[in-house]
Amino acid sequence: MNNSRRRFLQIAGVSALGLGAKPVLNAFAAGGGEGPGYHVARGEDALDAKQWAMVIDTRKFHSSADLEPIIEACNTVHNIPTAIENKNHEIKWIWEAHYHNAFTDKTNNFLNEEVEHRPFPLLCNHCENPPCVRACPTQATFKRERDGIVLMDFHRCIGCRFCMAACPFGARSFNFRDPRPFIRETNNKFPTRMKGVVEKCNFCAERLAVGQMPACVEASNGALAFGDLYDEHSEVRELLKENYTIRRKQTLGTEPSVYYIV
């Protein structure tokens, strides 16, 4: 046997070193959510949901003019650079589209003409199974466990645009240039973005956190409803129960959380 006294002492020595290193490693690992004497918590007014969802009553939209205040409300609140003229550099969080572009898999030859020519507001669908999140190499975009919002951490975005390629709804825009000179009216309470990051609708996470409904919902005169998809008695669930709704590209299996009453 080679398990001599010499060998035993070697192992004992290395073990002692390991035990001694533990407190040092602990000291390095310290520091996270809790610091000296402080703690963080959720705001008192914050609204909660398992999965936020939106139901859009498109019967209330007849022309672009009906959508304009809704889109404008979002643009103003979130410092969207609307003055960019180059269409390829356009930034949009909520925008208007034709039926054929919105519902590419639901275009029969002879559609109800009134429905076909309605303006449809499109935005990030905050999918329950978001492909953009899987594509992001830095976890800059993520699905928030708490409320199901697909959110972006702009600090982390490296501008690789994988998420834009992954999103089947075209809901993401890239800042090809510094957006600041193109913001018509700056809302000082909300940050802008910088050149080189992707952005998209955030379901007004910053407003939900202080107990307000999303800006577009407030500006819609009841055409947009917002609530918890998994609360049986929420406004959106009541609407879904009573109306026939469709979703965009449902067959892809991303489970969009934005429903359209047609």
Partner 1 sequence: MKDKKKILAGLAVFIAAITFPFWYNMGKAAPAPEVELTAKAKAAKVCVMPTSYMQANHMQLLDVWRHNVTRNGERAFVNADGKLFTMSLSNTCLDCHSNKAQFCDRCHNYASVRPYCWDCHIDNPKGE
Where along the sequence are the contacts to partner 1 (CB under 8 A)?
31-33, 35-44, 46, 142, 144, 146-147, 151, 153-155, 186, 188-195, 205, 209-210
The four Cα atoms 224, 126, 70, 246 give a dihedral, to 10 degrees, of: -50
Per the CB < 8 A criterion, the answer to whether 182 and 26 are in contact is no
Q: How far is the CB of 30 from partner 1 (least distance, A)?
A: 11
Spatial separation of the C-alpha atoms in residues 142 and 161, rounded to whole Å:
14
AA identity, residue 101: N
Q: How far is the CB of 191 from partner 1 (least distance, A)?
A: 4
| Complex with partner 1: residue 44 or 113, whichever CB lies closer | 44
Q: How far is the CB of 173 from partner 1 (least distance, A)?
A: 15
Count the Cβ atoms, other than its own, within 10 Å of residue 66. 18
Nearest to 227 by CA among 72, 34, 9, 56: 56
Q: How far is the CB of 171 from partner 1 (least distance, A)?
A: 18
| Complex with partner 1: residue 117 or 134, whichever CB lies closer | 134
Q: Which two structure tokens, joined as six digits, stand for 195?
A: 């050149």
DSSP 181: G
What angle is formed at CA 54 by the lines to CA 137 and CA 127, rounded to 5 degrees? 25
| Complex with partner 1: residue 70 or 150, whichever CB lies closer | 150
Q: How far is the CB of 194 from partner 1 (least distance, A)?
A: 4
